[in-house]
């Protein structure tokens, strides 16, 4: 058997020290990564804010079913049926007017409700052709009115209470 020489022992010792340094470095990196992962897992999620000018919710077929957004004209919230027809719409215009519309399926009929910033509030009911057939409202001064229109949109009957509480009718 060969007896190790001092020179061969020195080479082996230097190689072992190099390997040992690399193992220490790798071990230190693994400890830091494990500690960071553990600390990240301990952080409690906080309530956040998601910001956008428009959100669109689509169904499995890719059809829009809801839209929430800000436009140049104000804020909108719209709901669509499975056929892509807008059935519900709410909005606030830049002048402060708030509106809600409920549409019938596949045509122009429905109900429209609005509240204006200057105090006028009203409700209109439209037939399938989109003609306003019934309207009622309250003015800023407190006057109240009810209007009934024919299928051409011509007013056939109207009742009201003036701001001074006197009743009136028209036409």
Q: What percent of the chain shows pLDDT beyond 70?
A: 94
Largest CA distance in the chain: 128
Residues 62 and 78 in one domain: yes
Tell me: do 15 and 73 sit in the same domain: no
- Output the CA torsion sign for 33, 36, 42, 48: negative
State whether 171 and 113 are in the same domain. yes
Same domain, 111 and 135: yes
Same domain, 75 and 110: no
User: What pLDDT does residue 45 have?
Assistant: 65
Quick check: bond before 22 cis, omega within 30? no
pLDDT grade for 34, boundaries at 50, 70 and 90:
confident
* In a domain? residue 46: no
pLDDT surpassing 80 at residue 13: no
Contacts of 19 (CB under 8 A, 6+ apart): none
What does the H/E/C string look like for 83-94? CCCEEEEEEEEC
Contact 9, 3 (CB under 8 A): no
Structural domain containing residue 1: 1-41
CA 123 to chain centre: 26
Does 23 fall in a domain? yes
């Amino acid at each position: 058997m060969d007896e190790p020489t001092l020179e061969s022992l020195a080479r082996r010792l230097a190689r072992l020290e190099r390997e040992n340094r690399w193992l220490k470095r790798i071990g230190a990196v693994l400890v830091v990564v494990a500690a960071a992962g553990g600390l990240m897992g301990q952080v409690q999620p906080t309530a956040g804010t998601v910001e956008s000018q428009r959100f669109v919710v689509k169904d499995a077929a890719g059809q829009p079913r809801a839209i929430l957004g800000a436009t140049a004209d104000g804020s909108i919230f719209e709901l669509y049926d499975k056929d892509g027809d807008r059935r519900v719409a709410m909005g606030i215009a830049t002048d402060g007017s708030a509106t809600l519309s409920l549409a019938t399926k596949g045509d122009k009929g429905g109900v429209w409700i609005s509240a204006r910033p200057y105090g006028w509030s009203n409700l209109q009911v439209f037939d399938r052709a989109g003609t306003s057939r019934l309207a009622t409202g309250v003015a800023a001064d407190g006057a109240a009115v009810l209007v009934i229109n024919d299928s051409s949109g011509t007013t056939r009957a109207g009742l009201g209470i003036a701001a001074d509480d006197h009743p009136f009718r028209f036409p």
